[in-house]
Amino acid sequence: MQVQTVSFECPFCCVTLKMNAHLSLSEENATHYSDGYIEYEDSIRLSRIVQCPACNEVFFYDSLETQPLCNPDEICVDILEPPVDRYFELLKNTGLTSEQELYLRKEIWYYGTHHTVGSNEILNNPDFKNLWLDNLEILEQNLTETDNEQLLLKAEANRHLGRFIRCLELLDKHTGEKDNKYLKTIRKKIRKGSTDVFEV
């Protein structure tokens, strides 16, 4: 894994911000999960979404022009990692591309399945749980059946929502290898009535 400090201008208040960004990520020793989440060994998972500490606006930094280092004559401010409620706010932005919306909704899904704070909030905060489930419902609707990768995510979202028959229907539409480990495991999970995310 290679990490580099990059700088860019906040598109809202023009403050120069800096953050660590991955130059490359090795698939070696990476852990893949059934919902598409990936953990890289010895690597902090960096989001494409950042918050400016000066104006508190939240945005996708990777759509901006970045510089490899801060200019010595400038003051560069460290970005903030936005809380999940700001992700929900960002979804209201009508200027998002369909790819950006898909990314946001998957990140909210992962917050509930791969982060202890998110998992606890789902257990203890009914309002948040409803928001999280609504997001997963919309994500499932937005995922297409014509792309194999999205089809499997759509099937997994349905399993996570407890729709096991619908999940099986979608798996039957998969045009790739029919006898791979992932398909075998997800069918086994369905037989057990399990909605838990698993390592692939």
**Does residue 197 belong to any structural domain of this protein?**
no
Same domain, 53 and 120: no
- % of the chain surpassing 90 pLDDT: 73
Range of the domain at 144: 84-191
Residue 27 CB partners (closer than 8 Å, separation 6+): none
pTM of the model: 0.90
| Torsion, CA 149, CA 155, CA 156, CA 158, rounded to 10 | 150
**Does residue 101 belong to any structural domain of this protein?**
yes
Same domain, 57 and 91: no
Which tokens go with 57? 């606006």
**Does residue 70 belong to any structural domain of this protein?**
yes
DSSP 4-44: EEEEEE-TTT--EEEEEEEEE---TT-EEBTTS-EE-TT-P
Same domain, 33 and 90: no
Same domain, 59 and 135: no
- What is the distance between the terminal CA atoms of the chain, rounded to a whole angstrom? 21
Domain end call among 15, 49, 78: 78
- List pLDDT tens digits, range 158-198: 999 999 999 999 999 998 777 788 999 999 999 999 999 99
Give pLDDT, residue 6: 87
pLDDT at 55 over 90: yes
- List pLDDT tens digits, range 100-140: 999 999 999 999 999 999 999 999 999 999 999 999 999 99
- List pLDDT tens digits, range 69-78: 777 777 889 9
**Does residue 34 belong to any structural domain of this protein?**
yes
Q: Are 77 and 17 in contact (CB under 8 A)?
A: yes
* Band (43; pLDDT cuts 50, 70, 90): low
Same domain, 103 and 51: no
**Does residue 73 belong to any structural domain of this protein?**
yes
Give pLDDT, residue 22: 67
Q: Which of 54, 46, 52 is nearest to 24 (CA)?
A: 46
Same domain, 119 and 21: no
Domain end call among 60, 78, 96: 78
Domain end call among 78, 109, 128: 78
